């Protein structure tokens, strides 16, 4: 049995190393758990991981759970006891029949403890007992009360979905987080207060550590490869979904888990639909194409938009509007530095649009946080090193079937900023040169 268990865990390690991946550095997850325990004083935090998928979809852990654990096993829980300075991971028992179909998984025991860096890794059935042990000594139990984020999920969209479902006369189900909170209250009794862990985790996630920045750089690098592949592939007669497919192929070829959000490819009239997701139109000569797409690389997203001409050459009118948007983005990027505000960034971009008399064609904000979610969590406050955000001005002229948006993923540094997605051309001559390149449209070797 022990020998078989070791072989199973060796297989898990090998699977992590496959396809360009590598085992996680558990010191980062342990440091985040230690930091969180300091922030909650002598209290306890309990988090539930993502549930087993109910379709033939690949499992992806919820962001908060992965951020603290690095564990990608379904139906897991974690208990962080700040009073005793102990971290306990709870996993479902081993299921050999399932492993035969889907491969080895972590299961409770010493091997999982050594692999994950937790103080203990126990069977899920032990969670109730461990909570009971802490009824008297702990007054508060922290749990995340905001909707979980899994694949291609951002808090804003998830919150709207949960509210609509709960208030629907034909549904009425409460959110998973609320149901968990109510179950905990019943278990722990009236003497224990449940408090929201989300604001604490949100603030921790707002500023990225070294591991996160490394992954976001790679996410942006992969995103750039995908966008360039799509731009090379474009020619009149190509469908919007084909451009999306070209980018997604390159994302996955280069190690992405999937995409960060549904592909947005708007050609002609669709270029003025901000989140056009049908992608069903055939591009035509003279069209402008707005493509907004990014990968999910090891739980970290990039968010990139480029605007390019379907025929490979901007018309005079398209070029004129494009230059204004690019000027607005450059003005906004100049403002990205420690201490700056989102208002400073958006104001600089809007000032350019106003200078040319086009402010009434400005219809969205210029920035949002990016990280484990595309619209990442965290309160809006002055920027500091380690924050990652988008800079994305846009102008839209529906009467002319002309929309232009230019978006990059940007890291705030001590000196100013680093454009993580800088490898995708922004200048008109660079875009036209890229689209004229001969040879294979899909760069399989990462060029």
For the chain, the straight-line distance linking the first and the last C-alpha, in angstroms and rounded, comes to 47
CA distance 255 to 19: 6
Same domain, 150 and 118: yes
CA distance 103 to 416: 46
Q: Of 157, 173, 205, which residue is a domain's last?
A: 205
Residues forming beta bridges with residue 9, ordered by sequence position: none
Q: What is the pLDDT of residue 443?
A: 53
Same domain, 188 and 220: no
- Tell me, what CATH number does 83's domain have? 3.40.350.10
Query: Looking at the domain assignment, is residue 220 inside a domain?
Result: yes
Q: Which domain holds residue 410?
A: 210-436
Domain count, the chain: 2
**Most confident among 3-12, 165-174, 437-446 (mean pLDDT):** 165-174
Query: Looking at the domain assignment, is residue 447 inside a domain?
Result: no
**pLDDT digits over 260-292, tens only?**
999 999 999 999 999 999 999 999 999 999 999
Same domain, 176 and 286: no
Given a contact cutoff of 8 angstroms between Cβ atoms, the answer to whether 291 and 305 are in contact is yes
Q: What is the pLDDT of residue 191?
A: 78
* Confidence grade of residue 192 (pLDDT, cut at 50, 70, 90): confident
**pLDDT digits over 60-89, tens only?**
999 999 999 999 999 999 999 999 999 999
Q: Of 189, 205, 221, which residue is a domain's last?
A: 205
**pLDDT digits over 12-54, tens only?**
333 333 333 345 789 999 999 999 999 999 899 999 999 999 9
Average pLDDT for residues 188-205, to the nearest whole number? Answer: 92
Q: Of 170, 205, 240, which residue is a domain's last?
A: 205
CA-based angle 38:156:347, to the nearest 5? 95
């Amino acid at each position: 049995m022990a020998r078989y268990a070791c072989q199973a865990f060796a297989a898990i390690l090998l699977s992590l190393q496959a396809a360009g991946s590598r085992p996680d550095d558990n010191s980062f997850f342990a440091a985040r758990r230690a930091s969180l325990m300091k922030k909650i004083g002598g209290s306890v935090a309990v988090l539930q991981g993502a549930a087993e998928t109910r379709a033939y979809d690949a499992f992806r852990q919820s962001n908060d759970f992965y951020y603290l654990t690095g564990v990608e096993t379904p139906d897991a829980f974690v208990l962080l006891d700040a009073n005793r300075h102990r971290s306990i991971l709870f996993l479902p028992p081993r299921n050999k029949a399932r492993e035969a179909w889907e491969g080895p998984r972590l299961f409770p025991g010493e091997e999982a403890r050594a692999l994950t860096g937790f103080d203990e890794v126990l069977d899920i059935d032990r969670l109730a007992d461990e909570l009971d042990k802490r009824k008297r000594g702990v007054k508060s139990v922290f749990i995340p009360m905001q909707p979980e984020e899994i694949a291609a999920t951002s808090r804003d969209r998830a919150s709207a979905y949960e509210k609509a479902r709960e208030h629907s006369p034909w549904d009425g189900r409460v959110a998973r987080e609320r149901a968990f909170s109510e179950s905990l209250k019943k278990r722990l009794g009236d003497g224990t207060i449940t408090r929201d862990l989300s604001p604490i985790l949100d603030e921790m996630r707002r500023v990225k550590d070294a591991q996160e920045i490394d992954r976001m750089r790679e996410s942006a690098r992969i995103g750039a490869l995908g966008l360039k592949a799509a731009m090379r592939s474009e020619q009149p007669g190509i469908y919007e979904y084909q451009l999306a497919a070209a980018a997604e192929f390159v994302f996955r070829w280069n190690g992405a888990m999937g995409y960060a959000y549904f592909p947005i490819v708007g050609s002609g009239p669709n270029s003025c639909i901000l989140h056009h997701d049908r992608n069903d139109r055939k591009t035509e000569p003279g069209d402008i194409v707005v493509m907004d797409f990014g990968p999910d690389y090891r739980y970290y997203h990039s968010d990139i938009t480029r605007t390019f001409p379907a025929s490979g050459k901007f018309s005079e009118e398209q070029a004129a509007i494009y230059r204004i948007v690019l000027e607005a983005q450059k003005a906004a990027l100049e403002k990205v530095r420690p201490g700056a505000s989102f208002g400073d960034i958006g104001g600089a971009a809007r000032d350019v649009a106003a200078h040319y008399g086009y402010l009434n064609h400005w219809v969205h904000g210029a920035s949002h946080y990016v990280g484990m979610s595309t619209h990442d969590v965290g309160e809006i406050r002055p920027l500091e090193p380690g924050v990652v955000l988008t800079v994305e001005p846009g102008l839209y002229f529906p009467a002319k079937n002309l929309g232009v948006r230019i978006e990059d993923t940007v890291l705030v540094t001590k000196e100013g900023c680093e454009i993580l997605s800088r490898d995708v051309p922004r200048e008109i001559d660079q875009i036209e040169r890229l689209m004229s390149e001969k040879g294979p449209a899909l760069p399989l070797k990462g060029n």
